[in-house]
Amino acid sequence: MHANDAAAKTTPTPICDALRARGAWNPAWDPFQQLDPAWTERFMAMAVPPMVSGVLDAKTIEFIAIAVDASCTHLYAPGVRRHIRHALALGATKDEITAVLQLVSVLGIHTMSVGAPILLEELAARDAGAAPDR
């Protein structure tokens, strides 16, 4: 038995266990926990408190989770589905969830806000016969 295997069997993971028990565990996290249960537990200890502190209501937490999972940097469809399902169960409306998706869709606009000015500058430089700035 490898030392990490022994540690995995003896490392308590109450936060990870609680997430599994309430159906909030993402199966994609299984390899993390298998490789380093202590690290995974510490990560979850950092990530979970804002969601369970009571500062934000459960429906708002689900809206944030939908936005994160649907964002162009994440695009995690199983999470979007799970959090939409939870939001609906908490009384969210179709219009509220649509608004969340519409808001997060503008994250991609940065592609244009960064790229378009550079394109215009490069076109102007090319048309002026200037050497490329590299």
User: pLDDT tens for residues 22-44?
Assistant: 888 889 899 999 999 999 999 99
Give the C-alpha separation, 126 to 4, whole Å. 58
Longest dimension (CA), the chain: 69
Per residue in 64-80, pLDDT (tens digit) is 999 999 998 889 999 99
Q: What percent of the chain has pLDDT over 70?
A: 90
Domain locations in the chain as residue ranges: 1-55
| Residue 99: φ, ψ to 5° | -60, -40
pLDDT exceeds cutoff 60 at 8: no
In a 3-state reduction of DSSP, which class is residue 41? helix
